[in-house]
Amino acid sequence: MPKQPLLILGPLMPYLIEELGKKYEIEKLYEEKDALGFLQANAGRFEAAVTSTFTGLKADMIDLLTAVKIVSSFGVGTDSLDVAYANKKGIKIANTPDVLNEDTANMAITLLLASTRDIVANDRFVREGRWAKGEAAPLALGIEGKKVGLVGLGRIGSVIADKLLAFGCEVVYHTRNKKPDVPFRHYENLVEMAGDCAALIAILPGGDATQGVISREVLQAIGPQGTFINVARGTVVDEVALVELLKSKKLGRAGLDVFVDEPNAPTELFALDNVVLQPHMGSATVETRKAMADRVVSNLDNYFAAK
Ligand code: A2R
């Protein structure tokens, strides 16, 4: 049987390209010199396409994919994909939730510990020879017994909560809907929760609906002794306020894996010792990225098997 044609919209990890190539006749749109011309001539051949949270799927692209019925996306976030418009045009969107819960949660915990224990600043302190010269590094902060607030308690947030319990933290959370089946206190008011917590962890979806949910007021409420961790999306926080408050130490510490204008993190943060920066690595382990890739393939397989 001939392989189904499959249009790949943007770069993917080599393993995924290889796996897709075993089952599908793949066409890499991003390698076409004239992508628009290619689509105008060939779009009718493709019932399926693959994208990622990095490449996204905007309305103008959806309009060009005239025969596509399924887009399988690499990543859990759908904020860079116009899902509503795709669905309106009869296109199903598949993503890769769950398989990245553990590693993204581990990134949240890593950033929390790295920030509160000043791991990166102290690494510099040793390398710069300041320890050897007799200087003393300032005392860091512990997390045991501290209240940690989760903004979002879905698939990933719930795993973070379990891990925080193992560190002896008290977990509280803010979501739009109180969960009936969790033992943690729910806060309707995010500013109030931020004021009560030693640390706040953002783990909610990005997109218009959550733009700036972590506002200046929320960040101020976390305060000079507090820590803010973001493993969600850069857009969920007022990034201008975040930079200002970290610089003035009105917000104590931050651990940030995500930014508004990736791959650009605000350069003012580079000189600060009270922030730990990561290049959007939440799910970026060998094991999890392979599992996500396998999910992209199985989502397509299930579609063609009509599941
Ligand atoms: O608000 P609810 O009850 O729908 O709870 C969801 C919460 N959430 C919000 N919390 C506060 N304010 C909002 N405006 C708001 N919108 C949504 O975020 C739910 O507890 C959580 C999302 O959970 P899941 O859909 O299971 O997402 P998952 O897999 O945990 O991933 C979250 C995000 C991804 O979309 C990527 O952007 C990132 O983590 O990797």
| Long-range pairs, 23-29, Cβ under 8 A, ≥24 | 23/297, 23/300, 23/301, 24/48, 24/300
Would residue 280 show up in a list of annotated catalytic residues for this protein? yes
The one catalytic residue in 31, 128, 135, 262 is 262
Work out the burial of residue 60: count CB atoms within 10 Å of its CB; fewer than 13 is exposed, 13-18 middle, 19 or more buried.
exposed
Q: What angle do CA 20, 231, 288 make, to 5 degrees?
A: 30
Sign of CA dihedral 128, 133, 138, 144: positive
Would residue 155 show up in a list of annotated catalytic residues for this protein? no
What CATH number was assigned to the domain covering residues 4-97+286-304? Answer: 3.40.50.720
Taking the CB of residue 25, how many other CB atoms lie within 10 A of it?
A: 13
User: How high is the pLDDT of residue 1?
Assistant: 79
Nearest-CA residue for ligand 1 atom 25 is: 154
User: How high is the pLDDT of residue 2?
Assistant: 87
Nearest-CA residue for ligand 1 atom 19 is: 154
pLDDT tens digits for range 10-59: 999 999 999 999 999 999 999 999 999 999 999 999 999 999 999 999 99
Residues of the chain with CATH 3.40.50.720: 4-97+286-304, 101-277
Which segments of the chain have a pLDDT < 50?
Answer: none
User: How high is the pLDDT of residue 243?
Assistant: 98
User: How high is the pLDDT of residue 307?
Assistant: 65
What CATH number was assigned to the domain covering residues 101-277? Answer: 3.40.50.720
Question: What is the rounded CA–CA span in Å between residue 12 and residue 86?
Answer: 21
CA of 37 to the centre of ligand 1 (A): 38
Q: Tokens 């290889």 identify what position? A: 18
User: How high is the pLDDT of residue 219?
Assistant: 98
Residue 188 Cα distances to 175, 202, 233, angstroms: 7, 15, 21
CA of 300 to the centre of ligand 1 (A): 25
pLDDT tens digits for range 53-88: 999 999 999 999 999 999 999 999 999 999 999 999
